[in-house]
Amino acid sequence: MATFEYLYRFETEKGDEFFAKGVSTEPIIGGSVDAFPTLEDLLGDQNGTQENITKLLPPIPQRASQFTASVSITKATEKKPAYATLSLGSSSSVL
């Protein structure tokens, strides 16, 4: 699964919309980034292309899928160390 500090959603010169991982709160307009057509593609690190940022968009589109996250923490025992499990999911329905 992909990790990132900041999420960019942007438009290219052709008007196509993409998501990208970022390390700054100020992405460079005109800069080239690894771009993904959907948030699911970005999280799965698949279907990426190189694209130039022309216009920044709000991070989550208005008709986005709903995402859920849960964390399960297992208590340490004498035979096993403690560990955490993170589960992410998506749904096409909006509550």
pLDDT tens-place string over residues 42-78: 989 899 999 999 999 987 655 545 566 777 787 878 8
Q: Indicate whether 91 pLDDT > 70.
A: no
- Looking at the chain, the whole-number percentage of residues with pLDDT higher than 70 is 79
Q: Is residue 27 domain-resident?
A: yes
Q: What domain range is 52 assigned to?
A: 6-57
Q: Is residue 71 domain-resident?
A: no
Residue the block writes with tokens 């980034």: 33
Q: Is residue 68 domain-resident?
A: no
Q: Is residue 63 domain-resident?
A: no
Residue 30's pLDDT is 94
CA distance 31 to 51: 8
Q: Is residue 73 domain-resident?
A: no
Q: Is residue 24 domain-resident?
A: yes
Q: Is residue 31 domain-resident?
A: yes
pTM for the model: 0.61
Q: Is residue 32 domain-resident?
A: yes
Domain count, the chain: 1
CA distance 51 to 49: 6
